[in-house]
Amino acid sequence: MGNYVRLLIGVPIAGAITLGLFLMMRYLIIPDAVVIEEEQDALNISIAEDVAEVDARRREVNIDDVDQIDPPPPPPQIERAAAEQPTESLGDLMGSIPAFDSPSLGADNVNFSVSDRDAQPLVRIEPQYPPRALERGLSGDCLMEFDVTAEGSPTNVRVLNCASSLFERASIRAVQRWRYNPKMENGVAVPRYGVQTNLVFRLAED
């Protein structure tokens, strides 16, 4: 019973509140009509029916007033000399051309002779004096033997006889840095074996 009473009372109240909210939102959303009056300036266009005549002064020019100008004289005519055609043939003037036998360029006639040569040194770097031998004041010679490749580089460097073992390593390193023109046989680079050289180690005071 109590629920029906609340329902009967609540529904009209809720409807009244909803209607009031709707009217208030409509009032807020739709503003009062504002009348905007735009002032427009009157545009008057007047067209004159009469056309004004323009007084244009014309200057009359007579042909007699222009000075008479004589045309320039024509350029002088240059007479062109005509070349005479030769009456004799070119063979009569130059004489007959002697006949030559054409050379034979066969492979059998070409011969290139290349002289053989031994290996020739290009770059020789002196060995560095060993510090230990320098401290001891040692001097002496080292007889070295090595081979030269077809590219001109020393190989198989070995010591044949050396005054001190302190000079052997410096001698080998020096020879390995040398460069040669390779040995030539019939125009072909070939290795050279058994090249010998003597390296001298001397102090400045000796």
Amino acid at 139: S
pLDDT in tens, 37-81: 555 555 555 555 555 565 556 666 565 555 566 677 777 666 665
**How many C-beta atoms lie closer than 10 Å to residue 189's C-beta?**
16
pLDDT in tens, 97-123: 445 455 454 555 544 445 689 999 999
Q: What was the pLDDT predicted at 25?
A: 82
For domain 120-201, give the CATH number.
3.30.2420.10
Q: Which of 49-58, 103-112, 139-148, 184-193 has the lowest mean pLDDT?
A: 103-112
- Domain boundaries of the chain, sorted by first residue: 120-201
